[in-house]
């Protein structure tokens, strides 16, 4: 992967966060209400259309089903390994809340709000690449609502939500569109439905600007002077931005020994290279964890990812 192309894609993507940041700083709207509104649009409109648009513009191939299974397997295993490893690494952290936040931020990347828009921009909406990215959201939600909730709640098992791990819109939309994909009921077969295809594509393409606007608005709430003064945040970033893609590459190579997985290599490395998920801030607020640590982990890892994502893609893809 060409470093400059990847760097340009990351830079352009993050530049989309600037308008949201400016609008929030100028107090042109209620930031919290604005984030909530845009998040609802992103979750209930953009993400389902992204999944449907990708699957319904790809011709069925049994190899794709195999690749989907391995994307789910590798990304889920990767996040699980990292969440336990990071929790062990931060054992010496006296504040249990900070330890849980940094362990969460070290293991779960910004799969939905950044990885998919990045792959959309990098591959010019290659439907096969995007459908692989969509299934990674299923693995992400599974780990986040089980191990993630358990971690941030201080080890309280009653906060583990198997229901939410599966009954969420990205997972439901994936389950609903999968039979259509297998039966080859798609826009390639019924090309007279272009008007529906184009409408779905418009909603799917809203993912990048809306997700980045939300990110910019989230950043506007943070105090930049507090970002760089915590050594634990740098350790978390090192795990998420360096160790994660290396481990992802190792898991890919291991599975690649048995099955040809060349088609998903870009997805695996990209998903493993993403900065900390903004979900850590939402979950942090839900479980009354250290909010400053959560915001610091997300912002610092996102800033550093401008360089680490292109490097990971250049060296590992």
Predicted confidence (pLDDT) per residue in 283-312, tens digit: 777 777 787 888 889 989 999 999 999 999
For residues 146 and 79, give the distance between their C-alpha atoms in angstroms, rounded to a whole number.
Answer: 12
Mean of the per-residue pLDDT values of the chain? 91
Percent above pLDDT 70 for the chain? 100
Q: Give the per-residue pLDDT at 172.
A: 92
pLDDT in tens, 175-201: 999 999 999 999 988 888 889 999 999
Question: Which pLDDT does position 230 carry in this prediction?
Answer: 85
What contacts 177, CB < 8 A, 6 or more positions away? 51, 52, 55, 56
Token reading at 194: 């272009």
pLDDT of 276 over the 90 cut? yes
- The predicted model scores a pTM of 0.92
Tell me what pLDDT residue 272 has.
97
How large is the average pLDDT for residues 154-166? 81
Residue in 164, 165, 166, 146 with CA at minimum distance from that of residue 156:
146
pLDDT digits (tens, 9 = 90+) for 124-152: 889 999 999 999 999 999 999 999 888 88
Give mean pLDDT, residues 62-73. Answer: 96
Q: At a CB cut-off of 8 Å and minimum separation 6, what does 211 contact?
A: 42, 46, 112, 113, 114, 117
Which among 110, 162, 170 is positioned nearest to 134, based on CA atoms?
170
| Contact (Cβ atoms closer than 8 angstroms) between residue 223 and residue 133 | no
User: For the segment 29-66, what is each residue's pLDDT rounded down to a tens digit?
Assistant: 898 899 889 888 988 889 899 999 999 999 999 999 99
Cα 173 from chain centroid? Answer: 17
Q: Give 59-115 as a DSSP string.
A: ---HHHHHHHHHHHHHHHHHHHHHHHHHHHHGGG-S-HHHHHHHHHHHH-B-IIIII
Q: What share of the chain in percent tops pLDDT 90?
A: 64
- Phi, psi for residue 156 in degrees, rounded to 5: -90, 110
Predicted local confidence at residue 4, as pLDDT: 92
Q: What's the token pair of residue 72?
A: 């789910």
Q: Which H helix or E strand runs over 129?
A: helix 127-143
pLDDT of residue 24: 93
Helices 47-55 and 169-182 cross at an angle (nearest 10°) of 10
**Residue 8 token pair:** 């340009």
Place of tokens 């340009």: 8
Beta bridge partners of 276: 109
For the stretch 8-31, pLDDT in tens is 999 999 999 999 999 999 999 898
Domains defined along the chain, listed by start: 3-316 (1.20.1530.20)
Which pLDDT belongs to residue 85?
95
Q: Can you tell me the distance from the alpha carbon of 143 to that of 130, in angstroms, rounded to the nearest whole number?
A: 21
Q: How confident is the model at residue 218 (pLDDT cuts 50, 70, 90)?
A: confident
Identify the pLDDT of residue 36: 86
Lowest-confidence range among 48-52, 218-222, 249-253? 218-222
Cα–Cα distance for residue pair 317/304, rounded to 1 Å: 19
pLDDT recorded at residue 95:
79
∠6-217-27 over CA atoms, to 5°? 140
For helices 3-15 and 116-123, give the axis angle rounded to 10 degrees: 130
The more confident residue out of 157 and 118 is 118
pLDDT at res. 278: 86
pLDDT value, residue 44: 86
Helix, strand, or coil here: 135?
helix
Other beta carbons within 10 angstroms of residue 265's beta carbon come to 17
């Amino acid at each position: 992967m060409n470093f400059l192309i990847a760097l340009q894609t990351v830079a352009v993507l993050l530049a989309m966060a600037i308008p949201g940041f400016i609008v929030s700083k100028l107090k042109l709207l209620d930031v919290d209400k604005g984030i909530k509104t845009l998040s609802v649009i992103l979750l209930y409109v953009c993400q389902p259309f992204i999944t449907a648009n990708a699957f319904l513009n790809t011709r069925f191939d049994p190899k794709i089903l195999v690749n989907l299974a391995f994307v789910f397997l590798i990304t889920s295993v990767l996040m699980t390994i990292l969440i336990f490893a990071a929790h062990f690494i931060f054992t010496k952290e006296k504040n249990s809340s900070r330890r849980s936040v940094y362990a969460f931020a070290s293991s779960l990347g910004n799969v939905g709000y950044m990885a998919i828009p990045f792959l959309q921009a990098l591959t010019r909406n290659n439907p096969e690449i995007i459908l692989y990215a969509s299934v990674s959201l299923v693995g992400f939600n599974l780990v986040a609502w089980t191990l993630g909730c358990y971690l941030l709640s201080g080890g309280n098992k009653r906060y583990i939500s198997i229901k939410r791990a599966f009954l969420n819109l990205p997972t439901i939309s994936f389950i609903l569109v999968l039979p259509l994909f297998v039966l080859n009921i798609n826009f390639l077969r019924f090309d007279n439905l272009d008007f529906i295809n184009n409408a779905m594509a418009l909603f799917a393409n809203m993912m990048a600007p809306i997700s980045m606007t939300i990110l910019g608005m989230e950043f506007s709430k943070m105090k930049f002077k507090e970002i760089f003064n915590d050594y634990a945040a740098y350790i978390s970033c090192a795990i998420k931005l360096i160790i994660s893609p290396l481990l992802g590459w190792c898991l890919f190579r291991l599975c690649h020994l048995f099955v040809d997985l060349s088609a998903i290599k870009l997805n695996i490395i990209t998903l493993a290279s993403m900065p900390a998920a903004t979900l850590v801030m939402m979950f942090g607020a839900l479980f009354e964890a250290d909010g400053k640590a959560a915001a610091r982990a997300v912002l610092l890892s996102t800033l550093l990812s401008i360089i680490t994502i292109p490097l990971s893609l250049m060296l590992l893809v």
